[in-house]
């Protein structure tokens, strides 16, 4: 297993990026609905289909201790240079472009479940955090809430 540090960019707002992605998903869901005759009752199904088409959302776990959040994001086989982590006081955003190519010199691919495309996963914190307190590694990272006023 690879080990090491992950660079986390502190940013003023990841919420704008989240809104832009949600707008893209909403627009695609609308087009899916229209292509299906705009039948009522399919909104959630159309949203989920649009989301699957546009982004890969890896599994996450956000665990809370007395003084920190610990986030685990499942990115198996993804090179750390292929994704970015941005954080502000309210949210964490993991983005990137994931690609997968087949080497056909050894035969034909029958099944391939490797993800590719746009990686986009947001986590909204229940309470504000101190972005400068983040400690990361390739196994997991902790987000400390010390010295942060309760909101």
Residues 6+ apart with CB under 8 A from 9: 84, 85, 86, 87
Cβ 94 vs Cβ 58: under 8 Å = yes
Mean pLDDT of the chain: 76
CATH fold of 56-144 reads: Immunoglobulin-like (2.60.40)
Tell me 145's DSSP state: -
Residues 90, 127 contacting (CB under 8 angstroms)? no
Is the pLDDT at 149 greater than 50, yes or no?
no
Q: Name the strands in the sheet holding 91-98, side by side, starting at the edge strand that comes first in the sequence.
A: 8-10, 83-87, 91-98, 117-124
Higher-pLDDT residue of 17 and 3 is 17
Handedness of CA 81, 116, 75, 92 (dihedral sign): positive
CA 48 to chain centroid, in Å, comes to 15
Buried b (16+ CB within 10 A) or exposed e, 63-89: eeeeebbebebebeebebeebebbbbe
| pLDDT range class, residue 4, cuts 50, 70, 90 | low
Tell me the percentage of the chain whose pLDDT exceeds 90. Answer: 0
pLDDT digits (tens, 9 = 90+) for 37-71: 767 777 788 877 887 777 888 888 888 888 888 88
What's the pLDDT band for 2 if we cut at 50, 70, 90?
very low
Question: Predicted confidence band at 108 (pLDDT cuts at 50, 70, 90)?
Answer: confident
Kindly state the DSSP code that residue 56 receives in the 8-state scheme: B
* C-alpha neighbours within 13 Å on the C-beta side of residue 113: 1
Instruction: Record the pTM.
Output: 0.64
The pLDDT value recorded for residue 59 is: 85
């Amino acid at each position: 297993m690879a080990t090491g540090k992950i660079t986390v960019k502190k940013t003023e707002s990841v919420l704008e990026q989240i809104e832009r992605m949600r707008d893209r998903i909403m627009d695609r869901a609308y087009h899916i609905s229209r292509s299906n005759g705009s039948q009522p009752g399919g909104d959630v199904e159309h949203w989920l289909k649009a989301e699957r088409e546009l982004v890969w959302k890896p599994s996450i776990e956000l665990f809370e201790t007395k003084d920190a959040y610990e986030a685990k994001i499942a990115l198996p086989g993804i090179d750390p240079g292929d994704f970015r982590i941005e954080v502000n006081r309210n949210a964490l955003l993991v983005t990137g472009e994931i690609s997968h190519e087949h080497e056909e010199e050894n035969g034909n691919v029958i099944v391939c479940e490797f993800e590719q495309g746009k990686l986009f996963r947001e986590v909204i914190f229940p309470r504000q955090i101190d972005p400068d307190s983040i400690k990361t590694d390739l196994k997991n990272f902790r987000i400390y809430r010390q010295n942060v006023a309760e909101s």
